[in-house]
Amino acid sequence: IVGVIGNGLVIFVILIDRKMRKSVTNIFIMNLAIADFLIMTFGIPELVQFILNRGWLLGEGLCRFNRFTLVVSLYASVMSLVSVCIERFVAIVFPIKAHILCTRKKIICIIMLIWPAAVFCGLPTVLFNRVIPLRPGHEIALCQLIFPYNHLSVFLSFKYVESGIFYFLPILTQVILYCVIGRKLYASTEELCTRFQMRQNAKNQTDRASETIRARKGVVKMLIASVVIYFISYSPIQIHLLYNTFSDSPLPASWSFLVFVMTMTHVNSAANPILYCIFSQNFRRNFKKCL
């Protein structure tokens, strides 16, 4: 409930605030909020059924549709996180080029490419998801990805590619870029101040420079916190996959572990609006207006 309401508020406040809509970073944040809103909305039915120890009860059609929507939203969320990281990197490290590379029109084009790419990558879930018993003859069924030929090898290959593209590569990219951004922000304060100074009203310009630096640091801290939450939320399932790949005695995914993993993915989507409130004065102000 917190995640649905929180992400809904993020979308709403950006849409109604003209100043916030002008920020290309906020456009990416709104896209991320849309993806998180969908994850929370379509993930709740399966999570509730798992917590009640009932498995999947809604039939194969909804199994495919629900899992497809969740996976596409997750992929779009990850691509949005990476995109906003790259946008901040260009804006802070190459500020002159940012006016050319990070225009509002280009950012919207990138977002319009993110969703079709996510849909394409998520096609296996709508094509091959099935409702199958937990064990032969067991009354509890699960909504799972089942490939028609060489299921185990194809499934593992799919999971390795998925983990590489949507977990390890994004994490590595963001860690590197945010390290460069942090070094630039914290090591070149004087350079940024000088850039804003003019012959007249030098003090006012210096204050303006300091304000800009503080705002940039706040945004970067907020985005880094989002990446950390994402890393924590999705690490358990990735560690489990890696351990089973290289271990001689693989660990089965217990029911409680599956519930834990699903809960953690929802924690990730629910946490982002809270982070925006903590780190962004604009979001705090607009949230208060709405509430």
Instruction: Give, in degrees to the nearest 5, the angle at Cα 73 between 224 and 32.
Output: 35
What's residue 199's pLDDT? 44
pLDDT band at residue 38 using 50, 70 and 90 as cut-offs: very high
* 137 vs 51: which has the higher pLDDT: 51
Map out the domains of the chain as residue ranges.
Answer: 2-290
- pLDDT at position 68, please? 93
pLDDT (tens digit per residue) in 160-171: 999 999 999 999
- The overall average pLDDT reported for the chain is 82
- For the chain, the residue count is 291
Q: Which residue has the higher pLDDT, 167 or 45?
A: 167
Q: Name 289's Cβ contacts closer than 8 Å, sequence gap at least 6.
A: 13
Residue 191: per-residue pLDDT: 60
238-248 tens-digit pLDDT: 888 887 777 76
Taking Cα atoms as reference points, which of 149, 118, 117, 145 lies closest to residue 131? 145
- Please report which residue ranges of the chain form alpha helices under DSSP H: 2-16, 18-22, 24-51, 59-93, 95-101, 104-121, 123-128, 151-163, 169-187, 189-196, 202-246, 255-279, 281-290
Distance separating alpha carbons of residues 74 and 262, to the nearest angstrom: 12
Most confident residue range from 104-118, 146-160, 261-275:
104-118
> Which CATH topology does 2-290 take?
Rhopdopsin 7-helix transmembrane proteins (1.20.1070)
- Residue entry with tokens 């094509």: 127
Is the pLDDT reported for residue 96 higher than 60? yes
| pLDDT interval class at 195 (50, 70, 90) | low
Long-range interactions of 68-71: CB distance < 8 A, separation 24+: 68/122, 68/125, 68/126, 68/129, 69/38, 69/42, 70/38, 70/39, 70/42, 70/43, 70/46, 71/121, 71/122, 71/125
Residue 71's pLDDT is 92
Contact assessment for residue 15 and residue 280, using Cβ atoms and an 8 Å cutoff: no
